Amino acid sequence: MKPLLLSFASLALFALPSLQAIDTYIVAGQSNGWRLSQIGQMPGTPVDPESEDPKIYYFGMNCVSEPDSSEMVTLTRLNPAGKGYGLIQALQDRAGGEDIVIVQYCRCGAPVTEEKINSWWPGADPQGGKSFDEGLFNLFETYLTKARAQSQSLLGEDLDIKGLFWHQGESNVKTDAEKFEDAIQNVFWRFRHIVGDPDLPIVAGHIRDLGEGPQKINATLDRVASVDPHLSTVPLIGVEYEPDRNGKPDVHIATPGCHKLGSDMVMAMTRLEAVGKPFHAYAPSRNGNSLWIVKATPSGANLALEAVEQVDLGFSPATITDHPFLPQVYVSTNRGKDGVAPGAMVTLAADGKQDSIVPFNGANGYSYLSLDRARNFLLGCNYGDGFVDVYELDEAGRVGDRVSSLNEGRKAAHCVLPSLDNRSIYIPYVKDSNALYQYHFDAENGALSPMEKLDAEPPEGTGPRHLAYHPTLPILYFSNEQHLGVSVYDRSEDGSLTIRQVCDLPVEKIPEEGVSSSDIVISPDGRFVFAGIRGHKHDFDFISRYEVLDNGELKALGVTPADAIPWGLALSPDGRWLLATGFKSGTLMAYRVGNEGELTRVDTLEWDENISDIVTR
């Protein structure tokens, strides 16, 4: 099935079952929605309609008009200077080489509460037949119908609407909150009704927080999403805006901000589309010199694990990370010698199995790998000698030259994960090194530079190990390798960290030695944190559970038994399942995540011992 991207259209009403369908996404709202989806072809790269390159079929419009049709434009290589590059390129990357369609229908200044032609007012009660058909919905429906006709005529394919990206609200900041909530719920209902899919995934972006009015809009969107399992909201983290106008802050998102928000919205769409669907887990095996690929299939309250492939890598891999959109994972050994540390980019087929192996060589072995948020660099930290290295990635995600490296003379560096705004890096050191070093990250060239205060000075004996970022608040969570529990840090505007809380493990009798924390994850909705507890010398192996309070602090919920040495943790793409690797037991454990943060063991898979890291996708 191919993909197509649209703004608004009544596709389902005119579907022709005999035609192949192309995945389509709608982008709708007002001016920032238009910016998020405004794209063009890369200059100097003419489109060859006969080439095998994956194509984007684009229906665009002028933001200050209300058209009822648009001519389809074919694109192959997107211009990265376009404001819509972040959203559309992410959609193209995850399409796996298939064509996609984008339908844009965004009107500058359009509210959702006024009866006029340039309004998204859905009507007082569209579900009861009281619709407003003299505004944008009626025009959009015609626009979508004509886009469908063009696709059928020119491509021989029908539109298969997969989701809606929505950005609107600036024109309703003075609207009564209850009135806006009723209207926006009816807006989303009407989109789903037009498309013919009551469960159509919808991702809505927040608007700029300039006081009470925008806060009301964002809170209302979040509240509606909390009761709609097929709706997700995306906060504005690390988003840049246009320069102030006449001394007043501009609500319009600048090009880099559009790239960041667009990418974040596609990630949110990916999570929505994953709800209840099978997914895969990928874990490197040091003992087997291989990559395990496991299929996880949900069925009601259960999850079945099945090993589907063991990919021979030809070296002993320990660490892994994945690309959020392109079908590929990166693995590395954790031990290097004389500047030789083998790694590989493993590309994945549509069925989740291995497609190809692209070797690369690292300067060091790594205890942790990650990509920066713009997916331009691969980062790794070395446990034995404390190196932190940054490698450039090309457009296909292949690993290139090392562009940055640092070593502070400390051993036991355990994690390197860029901040959500892609501006900061934090390196935790465990054991006697007990430190938390802070760096500015240059997303243009991969350079790292120390903050004014290099060490955030974690409490003595905590040993910060791995970290997780709160999805909306400027707060970080570190698993404490030595002082069992989780440390909570506030992040300031300049990126520097301040300790806020140490939430102890909720267990009365903890051995004085021979136990340590391992990995840490936070649920996609930011409600729960889970961390592994390893009983190296004791029968003391658990998954610790914490509730995230409204202020970002943690409340310990308890511990859930685990197999020997739970090391790596990974949530399913929809956040409903937790997988944990048993390093000593040689098992993969699967848990169902309950509504109150409880964990219920649902399946176990036997595999190699000494597997630590794991990712899901």
SS3 label, residue 147: helix
Residue 595, burial from CB neighbour count under 10 angstroms (0-12, 13-18, 19+): exposed
Half-sphere exposure of 517 (CA within 13 A, CB side): 32
**pLDDT of 38-68, one tens digit each?**
999 999 999 987 888 899 999 999 999 999 9
The answer to whether position 352 is within a domain reads no
Neighbours of 328 (CB within 10 A): 19
Q: How many residues would you count in the chain?
A: 617
| Residue 10's pLDDT band (cuts 50, 70, 90) | very low
SS3 label, residue 476: strand
**pLDDT of 440-495, one tens digit each?**
999 999 999 999 999 999 999 899 999 999 999 999 999 998 888 999 999 999 99
What is the reported pLDDT for 105? 97
The phi and psi torsions of 262 (rounded to 5 degrees) equal: -60, -45
**pLDDT of 157-210, one tens digit each?**
999 999 999 999 999 999 999 999 999 999 999 999 999 999 999 999 999 999
Structural contact between residues 275 and 576, judged by C-beta atoms closer than 8 angstroms: yes
State pTM to two decimals.
0.90
Mean pLDDT score across all residues of the chain? 94
Q: What is the CATH number of the domain that holds 181?
A: 3.40.50.1110
What is the reported pLDDT for 2? 42
For residue 89, what are the domain limits? 2-273
**pLDDT of 249-302, one tens digit each?**
999 999 999 999 999 999 999 999 999 999 999 999 999 999 999 999 999 999
Structural contact between residues 438 and 454, judged by C-beta atoms closer than 8 angstroms: yes
Residue 479, burial from CB neighbour count under 10 angstroms (0-12, 13-18, 19+): buried
Please tell me the distance from the alpha carbon of residue 530 to that of residue 553, in angstroms, as a whole number: 14
The answer to whether position 301 is within a domain reads no
Closest by alpha carbon to 349, among 329, 370, 378, 375? 329
The answer to whether position 523 is within a domain reads no
- Which two tokens mark 75? 């694109």
| Residue 1's pLDDT band (cuts 50, 70, 90) | very low
The strand order across the sheet containing 319-322 reads: 319-322, 328-332, 341-348, 354-362
Q: Which amino acid is at 109?
A: G
Please tell me the distance from the alpha carbon of residue 234 to that of residue 214, in angstroms, as a whole number: 14
Provide mean pLDDT across the span 394-421.
94
- Most confident of the following: 333-342, 424-433, 471-480: 471-480
Closest by alpha carbon to 384, among 366, 368, 408, 362? 366
Q: Is 199 left (phi over 0), alpha (psi -120 to 50) or beta?
A: alpha
**DSSP symbol at 154:** I
Residue 17 has pLDDT above 60, yes or no: no
Pairing of strands 542-548, 20-29: unpaired
| Residue 6's pLDDT band (cuts 50, 70, 90) | very low
Closest by alpha carbon to 473, among 181, 209, 201? 209
Q: Which amino acid is at 227?
A: V
The answer to whether position 507 is within a domain reads no
- Which two tokens mark 384? 């034995």
Please tell me the distance from the alpha carbon of residue 283 to that of residue 19, in angstroms, as a whole number: 39
What is the reported pLDDT for 450? 97
Q: Which amino acid is at 547?
A: E
The answer to whether position 113 is within a domain reads yes
| Residues 6 or more apart in contact with residue 112 via CB below 8 angstroms | 119, 120, 121, 122, 168, 172, 180, 183, 184, 187
Residue 16 has pLDDT above 80, yes or no: no
What is the reported pLDDT for 226? 92
| Residue 432's pLDDT band (cuts 50, 70, 90) | confident
The more confidently predicted of residues 396 and 5 is 396
The answer to whether position 479 is within a domain reads no
The answer to whether position 377 is within a domain reads no
Q: Is 82 left (phi over 0), alpha (psi -120 to 50) or beta?
A: beta
Residue 5 has pLDDT above 50, yes or no: no
Domain count, the chain: 1
Provide mean pLDDT across the span 357-377.
97
The answer to whether position 23 is within a domain reads yes
Residue 13 has pLDDT above 50, yes or no: no
| Residues 6 or more apart in contact with residue 253 via CB below 8 angstroms | 32, 35, 36, 83, 208, 236, 239, 240, 241, 242, 261
- Which two tokens mark 559? 């511990």
Please tell me the distance from the alpha carbon of residue 532 to that of residue 562, in angstroms, as a whole number: 9
What is the reported pLDDT for 614? 98
Q: Report CA-CA distances (Å) from 457 to 129, 372, 411, 434, 489.
A: 62, 25, 16, 8, 11
Q: Report CA-CA distances (Å) from 303 to 229, 325, 509.
A: 20, 24, 33
H/E stretch holding 194 reads helix 177-195
Return the percentage of the chain with pLDDT > 70, whole number.
97
Please tell me the distance from the alpha carbon of residue 489 to that of residue 100, in angstroms, as a whole number: 41
| Residue 18's pLDDT band (cuts 50, 70, 90) | low
Q: Which amino acid is at 462?
A: T
The phi and psi torsions of 474 (rounded to 5 degrees) equal: -80, 65
Structural contact between residues 437 and 426, judged by C-beta atoms closer than 8 angstroms: yes
Structural contact between residues 458 and 436, judged by C-beta atoms closer than 8 angstroms: yes
Closest by alpha carbon to 260, among 442, 6, 85? 85
Residue 454, burial from CB neighbour count under 10 angstroms (0-12, 13-18, 19+): middle
Q: Would you list the DSSP string of 274-333? A: TTT--EEEEEEETTTTEEEEEEEEEETTEEEEEEEEEEE-SS---EEEE-SSSSEEEEE-
Provide mean pLDDT across the span 533-549.
94
Q: What is the CA radius of gyration of the chain?
A: 24
Please tell me the distance from the alpha carbon of residue 391 to that of residue 109, in angstroms, as a whole number: 43
